[in-house]
Amino acid sequence: MPSETKLFETYGKNSNDLIVLIAKRVKVIEDFIAFGNVCKSWRVAATKENFDVFALQVPLLLLADKNDDYREFYSLSKQKVLCMYLPEARGQESFASQGWIFTYNNTGEMNLLHPFSLAQIPLPDLFASQGRREGLFRRGCMDDAILSVRPSLTSDYVLLIFYWGGGGNPLSFWRPGNLNWTNIIEQWGGDAFTGINYYKGQFYYVSWSAEVWAFDVPGHVPIEQCLLVQLEADMPCHNSRLFYLVELFGALLLVIQLFGDNDVIVGRKGGYKTLKFKVFELDVIKGELKEEITNLGESAIFVGHNRASSVDTSMFTVVKPNHIYFVDDWYEYFNALEGGRVHRRDLVTCNLEEGKIEAFYPGVSLSPICRQLGLHHHSDN
């Protein structure tokens, strides 16, 4: 490695080249974000081209919007909140997927935003796609947004959005080059669904009636879907559970979060409290659920608002093995806030083997704008 003196002898006449060289040596994403926040010239050097995007990283947790030009992320490795300059996301509801952030507002404007390069991909007008100009969008109507693969790596990707409006629960998709969104949920009917994930060339989801389905998006309609698994009939009712699908070492796992009403459990008005998790492996070939998994070994799972990812904890001492990191959500009514309603999310872990649940984020996240916290797996840039 060149000495510090040699570096300055080589690059002293061009400070910008030296700043870029230093940026390329920063391997931890949290340090890279801090590097870019120092000043304008350092921010110019802190681009994704100067960072090893394939380096293993601990997921950042995207906190609620505060309606300013910065978005906050909680760093497990630093155990503190990081601020990132993202004026493009101000006042927008946000969903993280594949290292990008899907943003939208109540006018229907939508974009894909890369949080480090600030590159944006404008998306078609969903109003026009649905053949209507008003009454479709409002705060909190968007439920999820999922990318099949990283737009940074290929233009052959699919973006799915699931939202509430027009008297139903539409699921629409868009591909680069398409002028409009294509609504596909109306072909299927049935109940709403959650836990959508992309796995080995297909999208998978779990319906509220506890059915696991698979489908692909070949670029045309109608789109065929296949029932993979019907879960047990004695599964708790739909308002006492959440489903997630996550890939772990090549296998697709079903994670079930079981919770109860805070009014009953702790007397706190509004929202729910998590009681426990159950994890199963899905056999996508045979279409069956394998035995329950009670030990994740050296792995940990992160879940947050319909999204899940896994981490090998042997690579990161700050992440606890055999734990599920999740969002325990509730809300309260505050007369001092415009609209009266504010959403809160507590960041918590669950020891899967012992069932012990405890908080790992010392603060709270309150927002009248962004109703959920997101999981931003920043190694997917």
H or E element, residue 365: strand 365-367
Q: Are residues 42 and 57 in the same domain?
A: no
If one counts the domains in the chain, the total is: 2
Give the span between the Cα atoms of 337 and 155, in whole angstroms: 42
| Domain containing residue 351 | 53-373
Q: What is the DSSP secondary structure assignment for residue 238, as one 8-state letter?
A: G
In a domain, 25, yes or no: yes
Residues 14 and 101 in one domain: no
- The mean pLDDT value for 289-301 works out to 92
Residue 70 sits in a domain whose CATH number is: 2.120.10
Residue position matching structure tokens 């035995």: 291
Residue 375 CA from chain centroid, whole number = 4
Same domain, 78 and 23: no
Q: Are residues 107 and 38 in the same domain?
A: no
Is position 128 within any domain? yes
pLDDT of residue 123: 94
Same domain, 106 and 239: yes
Q: Are 254 and 245 in contact (CB under 8 A)?
A: yes
pLDDT digits (tens, 9 = 90+) for 188-208: 555 667 788 999 989 998 887
Residue 329 located in a structural domain: yes
Q: Is the residue at 381 inside a domain?
A: no
pLDDT of residue 185: 61
112 shares a domain with 24: no
- Among 86-95, 163-172, 225-234, whose mean pLDDT is lowest? 163-172
Distance CA 140, CA 130 (A): 18
Asked if 173 and 285 sit in the same domain, the reply is: yes
